[in-house]
Amino acid sequence: MKQLLIISSLILLTLQLFSQKVAIINTIFEDSVNLEITKSLDHKYPNKLYLLKETDTWNKDILFPDNIGKRHAESQNTTTLLDSLLGNRFSKKDRNLLFSKAIHLSSTRIKHVAEYIHLINSIKNIPAGFFFSISEPAYHKKYCLLNLTVYFKDQNTKSVTESYFGQVFFLYQLLNNNSWVLVKKTNNLLL
């Protein structure tokens, strides 16, 4: 009987986290302000929103930059952005707990999102323009940290790594009514 209760609790927790992830992803894409980075460098806001079906894992070197020797400028800039995003909301201990949780998350398949978000397996069959990938959400207390990676595909793009455009980091907070509200976001244009 005890095992049944434990298994039932784990299933309920998994379903709750899954529905929270979908709600947050939909929230990000429904507000064009969250994707304003796409208007950089004289680009236009995308007509269609393409999202890769697999979530990204978190980069340990960005979250824990002290663990590597000489840091890449991109990692250094991203670390500064994360510091500004989290600000004084997180103690050093809580920040390390959040980051430790994040780096142990596995990539998962995104199955259900709002109908205006087009899930894609690869960039092969999409037209030139923007597409996105999103990290697995990292939860700590009533907060959720996400990283949206923005890509731009042109006629010469052959792989995802050739199309990095920018990153948007989001910090959401869970309210008492079980809805998520954006606390802060930061844009990182990768040139």
pTM, two decimals, is 0.81
pLDDT at position 191, please? 66
**Nearest one of 108, 167, 116 to 138, comparing CA atoms:** 108
| Phi and psi torsions of 93, nearest 5° | -65, -45
What's the whole-number mean pLDDT along residues 10-14? 38
Residue 96 half-sphere exposure toward CB, CA atoms < 13 A: 5
Mean pLDDT of 51-66: 82
Instruction: Give the per-residue pLDDT at 182.
Output: 92
Of 31-35, 52-56, 86-90, 143-147, least confident by mean pLDDT is: 86-90
Domain count, the chain: 1
Provide the residue range defining the domain that includes 87: 2-189
- Which residues have a Cβ under 8 Å from the Cβ of 142 and sit 6 or more positions away? 173, 174
Residue range 35-55: mean pLDDT, rounded: 92
